[in-house]
Amino acid sequence: MSNAALTELASHIRCLSAEAVQKANSGHPGLPMGCADIAAVLFSEFLNFDPAHSHWIGRDRFVLSAGHGSMLQYSLLHLFGYAVSMEDLKNFRQLGAPTAGHPEFGHIDGVETTTGPLGAGISNAVGMALSAKMLGARFGQAQIPSKIYTLCGDGCMMEGVASEASSTAGHLQLDNLVIIYDSNRITIEGSTDIAFTEDVAKRYEAYGFAVLKADGHSMDSVRAALTASQTTGKPTLIIATTTIGKGSPNKSGTHKVHGAPLGPEETGLTRAALLPGTAEFTVTTSTAAFCKEVAAKGAAKRLAWEKAHSAWAISNPELKAKWDLFFAQTLPDLVLPEYKVGESIASRSSSEKTLNSIADQVEFLVGGSADLDCSNLTRMKDKGDVNTGAFAGRNLHFGVREHSMGGIVNGMALFGGLRPYCATFLVFADYMRPTIRLAALMKIPVIYVFTHDSFFVGEDGPTHQPTETKAGLECIPGLTVYRPADANEVNASWIAALKNTSGPTALLMSRQNLATLQESVGQDVTKGAYVAKKESGAKADLIILASGSEVKHALDTAAELEKDGKSVRVVSMPSSAQFEKQSCDYKKSVLPCDVRKRFAIDYGSSYSWHRYAGIDGLYACVDTFGECGPGPKVAEHLGFTTAKLAEKARGYLKA
């Protein structure tokens, strides 16, 4: 395509971006203006997309990791004919507008993932590239020809999650991944020289990437780098040298253009210099026609893919049936392990049995652990491993990289076709919390398996005892947390997680053995809470609340109090998030309003229970960082014996 047409397109990107930021009086014009030339070449000549069918499976994916430069993406989406109007651009960053300050998946056509926290988009892109490889290994790479392009900046390169994810991509040799690094050497505080002087090229070469360089303002240079990236046989990093705010007559190349509007006068001068004689928020007929032509070529590529895919489907009916199953992710009627009442088994161990039973029945389930599958017990037996150049397996190895693990599985869920889970110790959920939050924000169905859920980790001490972590996870809107009390609740929690397609689910499992309870048999765990033991009298004197391993403590404590003639109810609450979704009548049936004496037992923070036990409730919880020692001795030291809990309850009831 002619460089003149691309230059005019880039000028529109610069002007629309600057004008939208100025109208909002808020935003980041520097990156969109600096990367306009790169974006013009990428979208016009390399990216396979069809704006009229933006969810076409065979499309390439573009991820704007540097999400603060969102007006770059919004301008492109509008210009190429996605469902993004000029009014949407004019309403940039306004309440209710789809053009939020940072791109949000599900809110605007053409945005593949929610970005904003720097570096997260790179990890999502790695997950998308991995999914494309894994699906290609199952159905043929011609069915999944997708390339994944992600645009990042200096800030992304500084964030650890980008390093973790890039290390994984290099190890796996994901040659369908292209990272374009906008190297403009400017951050909010000024020149990158004040904090960032490493040799990024050498770092990425060490990861196993092909590293290319380009002048980000030369169409020919950008084109040559993108052309070379198609055949490197490795994941590719293109280091594109740019000038931040390119096109602004007086502010380009300075940190002043990074995160603030140009100002009304400078914005006007920019359009006058780049597109003389045109009014703000307008597009020339020549650029409109050019973008329409590019979109038409994208539609032709989609139609060609669909024709080839239809022919493949006719020749491969069994594979086509599997394809439909993978992308619909329809669950069969699952048959799960059964457990005898009284049988003692750690919930991580019963989870392993449940997971492997599911794995035999749900072929699109894939996942792995952050170097802990022998401790998390999350390996699917006889299902093969994914590793360098080998993508037919189902077990993933993320290495000791919790943060990028979370971002990678987010990317896999967004790509479609596979249902990912990942695992680590519960205490290390904090390492991946930003990506868990993003999964909840995007409402994508990732499953997290967090084991070693309490101070029964024991001798590893407070650094590994997640006393406050469950409460912290429960604070994330849209994340459903299950902490099962026994093997029966484990089965039910896994099924609930698989059926939850509108958000992520965290499953919290114990290391220590748990007795399989008669009280959990036949209960509807998906309601979040149920009455595990009814009171002996007409009205309960006390309600004891617990989840996980503490439910057995609650039942034993209730039995002791019943010997005193007290009427005690025990409530198992594996998921407060699910309980809050139930009707008021159901919640009252579990927690009657007229029983104000309530006792919460938890090996972790009391914050999980304040809304249920109340300000005048009794708490046997751990609001410290735990202790080092054998688990049972730590439990006794902290007061978690039936005798001590019963004595505490007696004093409360007398008071």
Instruction: Write the CA distances from 47 to 71, 166, 182, 327, 624, integer angstroms.
Output: 18, 21, 18, 23, 52
Q: How far apart are CA 645 and CA 652, in angstroms?
A: 11
Beta strand 568-572 pairing with 542-546: parallel
340 three-class SS: coil
214 three-class SS: strand
Specify whether 402 is catalytic: yes
Output Rg (C-alpha) for the chain, integer angstroms. Answer: 28
Q: How far apart are CA 363 and CA 361, in angstroms?
A: 6
Instruction: Write the CA distances from 342 to 46, 97, 301, 487, integer angstroms.
Output: 62, 56, 61, 10
Catalytic residue among 104, 164, 402, 468: 402
DSSP H or E run through 12 = helix 3-24
The residue assigned the tokens 């239809």 is 310
- Which long-range CB contacts under 8 A does 380-384 form with residues at least 24 apart? 380/355, 380/356, 381/356, 383/359
- Strand locations in 57-137 (E): 61-64
Q: How far apart are CA 56 and CA 401, in angstroms?
A: 31
Q: How far apart are CA 525 and CA 342, in angstroms?
A: 19
Q: Calculate ∠ Cα 450-490-512, nearest 5°.
A: 60
495 three-class SS: helix
Residue 191, CB half-sphere, CA atoms under 13 Å: how many?
3
Which residues carry out catalysis? 402
